[in-house]
Structure 1
Amino acid sequence: MLYLLVMRPVMLPNGIEQIRFQDTCAEAIDFLKQRKISDVNQACRKLLEVSTDIPPSKVKGDRSKSVLFDGCKLAKSLHCLQTEKKWEFISHVWVEMLCYAATKCRWNRHAQQLCRGGELLTHVWLLMAHLGITEQFQISKGHARVRLIVH
């Protein structure tokens, strides 16, 4: 999903995602610089130590669109789960996000990606359409007819 946000943002629903991504990156960079952290393991430990008792809206107001705090809160919650339950939870959330993004991407964007071999998102979209689990492809009345035009 991060790859799509950075490399193929036109495939994601329009919204505040780019602003959130930029604010979160800026906040993470500031967090790491202030603590002079350059090691990934140390960064993970420090992020788990962030106090999540007071929501950032109480401290910063509504100015920041960063989700770093929410990420720290989620990481703490996941850290407490057993490994099997943790990965099960992560996989369910990831599949839900992937399916949501696949259905919200416009059909012409998927078509453009198919010309290049397709993105995972496009293949998920096609599979969902094939299985009849997308709103765009469900036929509510009558029979659908397809006509092949050969030039």
Structure 2
Amino acid sequence: MCRVRLLKPWGRQLRQYSLLKLYNYSPWKCINNRLTAAYVDPKRNGQDQIAPTNLSEQVIKAIAQSLMMYDTSNLEKGQASLRPNNIGTQLSKEPREHFGIATQLSKYLAYLVAFTPRLLPDHPYRTQSIFRSAVSEARGLFKESSVSMDKRIEMLKGIDVEQCQENIVLQGAKLGRQFASVVANEEQIWKVLADFWEEMMYMAPSNAAAAHADYLPTGGEFVTHVWVFVSHADMKREPHDGE
């Protein structure tokens, strides 16, 4: 029980998760039993965190600016950052700043998938199922836990992704290749990615007030603050089929 990581107040931090780094993590068996299950959710394969990062002023400013770009009350699904006219926009930040915004927000949203699916729009069981599939696929792909990060990336670059359309990890590799082939340079790549994850932060929050409220006694999550902000601005997501 002493090894259980209890929830701490938010403290203006973004918790982070990386599938490529943590897919091979296996929880300590001694804390996954009937006794502990009554007090803490049992951890799953691949479910561990990397060090959190402080919520920077650059991230806050970037998200606020992206909200100001909308001229409609309906949020999109990340398309605005990928439109051709946006790809050609002039860079307004240092390349390193775009890199920081993109990586911090993408790893934070990955953390929400892995640890707090109730705060996301989809049904938690569906989100958990997708997470389990991604971890299983990564384990099957890389096999040995000793494979370095550079080697993992090289393996993804060398795989024939056209033969594995249903594989989540390989779909990500395919998307990365396509993206790199149509964007002019590395600076522009991080600019578009930063814009994309800023936009996705507005799409991420669940509308279930009870789910957000459950996390508030321990300080809540940044996504809850975004949800309150967007709700008061009367901005709504475009509905999915059947939603």
The TM-score, its normalising length taken from structure 1, stands at 0.70
What is the aligned-residue RMSD (CA, Å)? 2.3
1:20 aligns with 2:20: no
The TM-score, its normalising length taken from structure 2, stands at 0.46
Aligned residue for 1:70, secondary structure, equals helix
Query: Could you tell me which residue of structure 2 aligns to residue 77 of structure 1?
Result: 178
Contact 1:24 1:68 in 2 (8 A): yes
Task: Measure, in 1, the Cα distance between the counterparts of 2:128 and 2:194.
Answer: 24
Query: Could you tell me which residue of structure 1 aligns to residue 89 of structure 2?
Result: none
The amino acid that maps onto 2:176 is A
Bigger proportion of residues as strand: 2
Query: Could you tell me which residue of structure 2 aligns to residue 46 of structure 1?
Result: 155
Q: Percent identity?
A: 24
Give a deviation string over 1:34-82, Cα, whole Å, max 9, x none.
7x8611011101101111333535xxxxxxxx41121110121233332
Task: Measure, in 2, the Cα distance between the counterparts of 1:76 and 1:124.
Answer: 31
Bigger proportion of residues as helix: 1
The amino acid that maps onto 1:46 is M
Contact 1:48 1:75 in 2 (8 A): no
Aligned residue for 1:56, secondary structure, equals coil
Count the aligned residue pairs: 125
**Larger relative contact order, structure 1 or 2 (CA cutoff 8 Å, min sep 6):** 2
Give a deviation string over 1:100-128, Cα, whole Å, max 9, x none.
121x3401112222332220110111221
**Structure 1 unaligned runs (5+)?**
58-65, 136-151
* 1:10 aligns with one of 97, 114, 118: 118
Contact 1:11 1:106 in 2 (8 A): yes
The amino acid that maps onto 1:93 is F
1:55-70 to 2 correspondence within 5 Å?
A: 55-57=164-166, 66-70=167-171
Greater C-alpha radius of gyration: 1
Query: Could you tell me which residue of structure 1 aligns to residue 225 of structure 2?
Result: 123
**Structure 2 unaligned runs (5+)?**
1-108, 238-243
